[in-house]
Amino acid sequence: MPRETLLNVLLMTALLAFPLWAHLADEPFLITLTTRAVIFAIAGIGLNVALGFGGLVSLGHAAFFGLGGYVMGILAYHAQTYTPLMEVPFLIEGTKSMPVIWLVAIVLSALAALAIGALSLRTSGVYFIMITLAFAQMFYFFTLSWPTYGGEDGLSIYVRNSFPGLNTMDPIQFYGLCYGLLMLVLAFVWALSRAPFGLMLGAARQNEARVAAVGQMPYALYLTAFTISGAITGLAGALFADLNRFVSPTMFSWHTSGEIMIFVILGGVGRVFGPVAGAVLFLLLEHILGGLSPYWHIYLGAVLLGVVLFARGGLYGLLAGREVAHD
């Protein structure tokens, strides 16, 4: 078994075993911490589709993370106050059902990513980075100054949304739900990376001109990747808001975009399971360094600098060596 596969199996087993142990040891805090890791991992996997596979450095994925969060917040808010979301031209009511919320979050984030991507992909390089950042910031300031859904105070939801047959307020059951979704997303992205589309996208990242020469449009490939990427990150946003039962403009802030990028980098860019390792490592750092000093961001910054300057390829690069699949 290649070392990378071994790492993947170890990682996913640990993510199953640790919360079960925490459940038996009656440590709900640790289950919640792991739930956060799993949700961050999904957000990172989303970004990795654009960043790792497509080479699109988006510093604006907070837009989709926050959008997913607000989909959950707004739908649940209307359900808990028994007010319709809108009446004209047709009636839309709030809902507390997780599958519906996920679906809406995915569709809306995909649409937003399609629009933002269509504009941003007219440029490349450093322009692309700044423009994606600016679009996320636009959402941030919009929610900040939009009083209907709490403005800068955000929105609180009293009870976690429901999933048929489960008690979602029970930490381990909600964790199981998130873990299941993580597996689904991983399977989807793994299949995507091996499908003709994924291979073509990787080719476009490495040599745009040749891809164009064999009759594929790099722009369409990038835009599709960016849309899928936004949709997955939006799903993570809806889960994150449900975990906290709270959503606020902070989800849109550029620090969120930076953190999602950190998950991808710490784990290893362009590897399907990389963001999972990155998110786990990030929360481990937060837990350990945060216990050492209230100013733990200094150490986080130092670790990040170290990884960028000296350990390119992240955790997977260190442990599994160079990627063997292609190139």
Partner 1 sequence: MTLPLFIEQTLNGVQFGVMLFLMAAGLTLIFGVMGLINLAHGALYMVGAFAAAATAAATGSFILALAASVVFAAFAGVLVETLIIRRLYGRDHLDQVLATFALVLIFAEGTRWVFGSFPLFLDKPDWLSGTVMLPFGIEYSLYRLAIILVGLVVAAGLFWLIGRTRVGMQIRAGENDREMIAALGVNISRLYTLVFALGAGLAGFAGALIGAIQSVQVGMGDSVLILAFVVIVIGGIGSIKGAFVGALLVGLTDTLGRQLLPMFFALFMEPAAATSTGASLASMAIYLLMAAVLILRPKGLFGGA
Stretch that binds partner 1, among 2-10, 141-149, 159-167, 232-240 (CB under 8 A): 141-149
Q: DSSP characters for 215-266? A: T--HHHHHHHHHHHHHHHHHHHHHHHHHHHTEE-GGGGSHHHHHHHHHHHHH
Neighbours of 32 (CB within 10 A): 17
How far, in Å, CA of 91 to CA of 85, rounded? 8
138 binds partner 1 (CB under 8 A): yes
**Per-residue buried b or exposed e for 175-208, using 16+ beta carbons within 10 Å of the residue's own CB:** bbbbbebbeebbeebeebbeeebbebbbbbbeeb
265 binds partner 1 (CB under 8 A): yes
Amino acid type, 99: P
Q: Which is nearer to partner 1, 22 or 56 (CB)?
A: 56
Q: How far is the CB of 142 from partner 1 (least distance, A)?
A: 6
Provide the mask over 38-57, with x wherever binding to partner 1 is found by CB under 8 A and - wherever it is not.
Answer: -------------x-----x
With residue 36 as reference, give the H or E element that holds it: helix 28-48
Q: In Å, how far from its chain's centre is CA 153?
A: 23
Q: Which of 112, 262, 281, 315 binds partner 1 (CB under 8 A)?
A: 262
**Per DSSP, what are the bridge partners of residue 156?**
246
219 binds partner 1 (CB under 8 A): no
Q: Which of 1, 25, 126, 292 binds partner 1 (CB under 8 A)?
A: 126
Q: Which is nearer to partner 1, 21 or 127 (CB)?
A: 127
Residues making contact with partner 1 (CB under 8 A)? 51, 57, 59, 119, 122-123, 125-127, 129-131, 133-135, 137-138, 141-142, 144-148, 254, 258, 261-262, 265, 269, 295-298, 300-302, 304-305, 307-309, 312
